[in-house]
Structure 1
C-alpha cells in the first residue's frame, strides 16, 4: 500500500455492506426512523477499512478509503442515550483540546470518567459469559431445572 504525505486529506466513504447496522437497530426503533425523517439514534460503532483508492502523483484528487461497519450497538434507553452522548461530547472536547477542532463544549473534559460511568451499569464480559452458559444449559436441559441435594 502506498504511503501518504502527512498533510494528505483522505476522503472516507461507507461501504455498502451495512448488515451489522441492520442487526444492531432493534426492530422497535426502525418504524420511527422511517416515519420521521431526521429522527436520530445513538450507537457505538466499530469500522474496518475495506478498500482504498489512490491517485497518480500530481492528480488533484484526494485518496479515498471505504469503511465497513463491523460491530454496532444502538442505545435503546434514555440513560444509555444520555451516557453515550456524554462520551461523545467528552471525546469531542478531547479532540478540541488536542487542537483538531475549533470549539470547546460545556461539561466534563474527562473521557475516561464518562466511559467508566457508561460501563458501570452494564454487564461485564464475565457476567455475559455466565449468562450465555446458563442459556446453553437451559437449552440442553429443555428448560428443566433439577436440584441435586
Structure 2
C-alpha cells in the first residue's frame, strides 16, 4: 500500500453494501425512509476500509478509500435516537475543543465518559448474557412439558 504525505486529503466513499443496516433497521423504519424522502434515522456503525484508489504524482485528484458498513445498530425508539445524538454532540464538542475538527485522521478518542453516561441505562454484556440464559432455561422447561 502506498504511503501518503501527512498533508494528503483522503476522500471517503461509501460502498454500496448495506446488509448490516438492512438487518438492524425495522421494516417500518425502512418503509418510512422510502416514503418520506429526507427522513433520518440514527445509527451506530462500524466502517471498514475495503478498497483504495491512488493517483499518480501530479494528478489533480485526491486519493480515495472506499468504506463499507460492516456492523450497524439503528436506534429503535426516540430515547435511543436521543442517546446517539447526544454521543455525537459530545464527540463533536471534544473534537472542537481539541482542535481536531478539521484535521486528517481519527481525532480525539476521549469520549468514554459521554458514551458511558449516554448508555448507562442500556443493558451491559453481562446483563444480556443473563437474559439469554434465562430465556434458554424457560424455553427448555416449556419444551420438557
Q: TM-score normalised by the shorter chain: which range applies? A: 0.7 to 0.9
| TM-score, normalised relative to structure 2 | 0.84
Aligned equivalent of 2:99? 99
Aligned equivalent of 2:117? 117
Alpha-carbon distance in structure 2 between the residues aligned to 1:80 and 1:34: 21
Counterparts of residues 1-149 of structure 1 (less than 5 Å)? 1-101=1-101, 111-139=111-139, 141=140, 143-144=142-143
Q: Cα offset for 1:7?
A: 0.5
Contact persistence 1:32–1:39 (CA under 8 A) = yes
| TM-score, normalised relative to structure 1 | 0.82
Alpha-carbon distance in structure 2 between the residues aligned to 1:89 and 1:29: 23
Structure 1 gaps, min length 5: 103-109
Larger % of helix: which?
A: 2
Q: Cα offset for 1:133?
A: 2.9
Alpha-carbon distance in structure 2 between the residues aligned to 1:122 and 1:32: 25
Provide Cα deviations, 1:43-94, integer angstroms capped at 9, x if missing partner: 1111100111111122111111010101111112222111111110111111
Contact persistence 2:83–2:119 (CA under 8 A) = no
Alpha-carbon distance in structure 2 between the residues aligned to 1:6 and 1:55: 16
Deviates more, 1:124-133 or 1:11-20: 124-133
In the TM superposition, structure 1's runs of 4+ consecutive aligned residues that sit over 2 Å from their partners are 110-114, 130-139, 141-146
Contact persistence 1:83–1:117 (CA under 8 A) = no
Contact persistence 1:10–1:65 (CA under 8 A) = yes
Alpha-carbon distance in structure 2 between the residues aligned to 1:123 and 1:142: 25
Q: Report the structure number with the largest CA radius of gyration.
A: 1
Contact persistence 1:43–1:84 (CA under 8 A) = yes
Alpha-carbon distance in structure 2 between the residues aligned to 1:122 and 1:143: 29
Deviates more, 1:124-133 or 1:7-16: 124-133
